[in-house]
Amino acid sequence: MTNFGNMIKQAQQMQKKMNETQEKLNSIEVEGMSGGGTIKVTANAKGDIKKVSIDDSLLKVEEKEILEDLILAAVNDAKKKADDVRTEEMKNVTGGIPLPPGFKLPF
């Protein structure tokens, strides 16, 4: 019985750590850039886009397609950085133990 009790206690502690990590991921910000910093996208570590910044020099109708490509590149850069931070934070929660395939986290 004590082993089962310890397992329950460990699971509760891990759940608490996961909840704390979720809150932390909401507050960590990453910035993706493209076009030499002319396009910047700010996201939280969960991957939610918070802000898009466009340098005034890019606001030309004839460069609309370039601008769209740069925004896409900056968004993807921010998403990758958010994924990297999230992976690192989860290693801290799980002690580096990989989660089972198909296991979905609440964030």
Q: In the chain, what percentage of residues exceed pLDDT 90?
A: 17
Give the model's confidence band at 25: pLDDT under 50 very low, under 70 low, under 90 confident, else very high: confident
Residue 42 is predicted with a pLDDT of: 92
Q: For residue 64, what are the CA distances in angstroms to 13, 54, 55, 72, 76?
A: 51, 12, 13, 12, 19
Q: What is the mean pLDDT of the chain?
A: 83
Q: Name the DSSP class of 58.
A: G
Taking only the tens place, the pLDDT of each residue in 28-63 is: 999 999 999 999 999 888 888 888 999 988 888 898
The model's pTM is 0.60
79 in Cβ contact with 34 (< 8 Å): no
**What is d(CA 37, CA 48) in angstroms, rounded to the nearest whole number?**
20
- CB crowding 25-60: b at 16 or more within 10 Å, else e: beebebbbbbbeebbbbbbbbbbeeeeeebeeeeee
Give the model's confidence band at 103: pLDDT under 50 very low, under 70 low, under 90 confident, else very high: low
Query: In the predicted model, is pLDDT for residue 99 greater than 90?
Result: no
Query: In the predicted model, is pLDDT for residue 104 greater than 60?
Result: no
Q: Which has more pLDDT, 81 or 96?
A: 81
Tokens representing 52 are 């898009």
